[in-house]
Structure 1
Amino acid sequence: MEKIAFALLISSRKLHSYFQAHSIVVMTDQPIRKTMNKIDTAGRLIQGTIELGQFNIEYRPRAAIKAQILVNFIAKFTYPCKEEELPMKTWTVQTNGSTTKKVGGAGVVLISPQREILTYAVRLQFSVTNNEAEYEALLTGLSLAKALKAKNLIVQADS
């Protein structure tokens, strides 16, 4: 929590003129305001709270979008390991999604344990945001891996 509050403080210092001229809305899933207003707040945060108090800052809960929830899920349940620690029959799924004004697309590359490369391109028949295209690419990659009965999977999504 201190790191988030410190990042906000540094931002306010670097963008001082913007913070003075405009109302600032901080979208977060962390209770920053509540933490900074506690009586037993650490000394470093007290000074930051006073400094940030001069600005019109509104804290709003950040609504999660589908793609962000999926990214958070994968990040939480993915454990980094070294190449030699991977099971022998490990598949790799690489995904990427993109959009234009009218159409979206998803690209998937599957790499088998024997290093065979399978490439797929999917044209999305509906309007999507870039995040949604990334989400669709990941779902497509996972569906293809399941259809190929891949048990051990490394997922690499382009950013």
Structure 2
Amino acid sequence: MEKIAFALLVASRKLCPYFQAHPIVVMTNQPIRKTMNKMDAAGRLIKWAIELGQFDIEYQPRAAIKAQVMADFIVEFTYPYKEEEPPMKTWTVQTDGFTTRKVGGAGVVLISLEKETLKYVVRLQFLATNNEAEYEALLIGLSLAKALREKNLIIQVDYQLIIGQIKGDYEAKEERMQKYLKII
């Protein structure tokens, strides 16, 4: 009982302007009004009753909730049960291409669902641009996944241009880039 009275007191202190401007209705199944107005109540309950007496507070018994209202409430605020689907066997393919003045290369990391990691580095046998090295890395990653007979892949490429061209957001203008895009 004291907990409810204390909660009401704290709310009245924090929300004093609202308590002063509006009538407050406290719905509870506890006889809070009788308890706070007893002459033999504990000292702090009397102090709280005096402090709360300045507000227009009405205490009403909480009515029973009808069965249909409760059922509607439960239906509205619960999430439907979904049977968990077994996880698909998905591999993650991470690629990165790199170039220097003399050499280009491609790095590929394949990660299985069980977190097994396969790492590959390939040296390109031709002078390549950064874009070409990125495409080569992606092609190598896809070839490795195909060799492993993996069809469900998450592909992570760090080069925005390649991602944009594959999605169709960017146009591949150079003939070599168009060929790479067609192969992908």
Q: TM-score normalized by structure 2?
A: 0.39
Which one has the largest radius of gyration? 2
Which structure's residues are more often strand, by fraction?
A: 1
Higher relative contact order (CA 8 A, sep 6+): 1
Q: TM-score normalized by structure 1?
A: 0.45
